[in-house]
């Protein structure tokens, strides 16, 4: 029959679409695990009524003070002198960003204030001290 056309069949290749979706999923899963690299999981933050969940901000100075007084700066164990250098470099590179001091709840207050003083003396204008919200009782 001359006037009839053969029906054209258009199929969407779903295999490629599914592959792309899975690759995007894997990318976002991997990317989110690297965002919190500065958090030292051995540090148990103290609780406070004013506790607010800290936002993850890239390019920030995060100082963790473990219960034994060890300083962990952006994931690496450091001395006070190395902290001073890192804080000065951070202050030059990001003058309006806050440094974060994550101190374990069992740390002596003097240790927190010493780290705070090092940061401020190195030129860091703002320092955040994150805490946890108290559990509902």
Q: Is residue 95 part of a domain?
A: yes
pLDDT at 137: 46
Q: Is residue 93 part of a domain?
A: yes
Residue range(s) defining the domain that contains residue 65: 38-137
Q: How far apart are CA 39 and CA 56, in angstroms?
A: 10
Alpha-carbon radius of gyration of the chain: 25
Q: Is residue 21 part of a domain?
A: no
Q: Is residue 9 part of a domain?
A: no
Q: Is residue 17 part of a domain?
A: no
Higher pLDDT, 25 or 8: 25
Q: What is the CATH number of the domain that holds 128?
A: 3.30.420.270
Q: How far apart are CA 83 and CA 98, in angstroms?
A: 15
pLDDT digits (tens, 9 = 90+) for 16-25: 888 888 899 8
Does the predicted model carry a pTM greater than 0.75? no
Question: Quick check: 12 pLDDT over 80?
Answer: no
Q: How far apart are CA 137 and CA 134, in angstroms?
A: 9
pLDDT digits (tens, 9 = 90+) for 33-70: 554 555 666 777 777 776 656 555 667 889 999 999 99
For residues 98-104, give the mean pLDDT: 90
Q: Is residue 14 part of a domain?
A: no
């Amino acid at each position: 029959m001359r006037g009839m056309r053969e029906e054209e069949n258009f199929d969407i290749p779903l295999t490629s679409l599914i592959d792309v979706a899975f690759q995007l999923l894997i990318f976002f899963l991997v990317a989110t695990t690297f965002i919190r690299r500065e958090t030292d999981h051995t540090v148990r933050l103290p609780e406070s009524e004013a506790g607010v969940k800290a936002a993850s901000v890239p390019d920030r100075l995060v100082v963790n003070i473990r219960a034994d007084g060890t300083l962990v700066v952006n994931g690496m164990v450091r001395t006070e002198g190395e902290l001073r250098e890192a804080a000065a470099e951070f202050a030059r590179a990001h003058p309006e960003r806050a440094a974060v001091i994550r101190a374990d709840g069992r740390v002596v207050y003097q240790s927190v204030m010493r780290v705070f003083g090092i940061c401020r003396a190195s030129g860091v204008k703002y320092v955040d001290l994150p805490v946890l919200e108290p559990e509902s009782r």
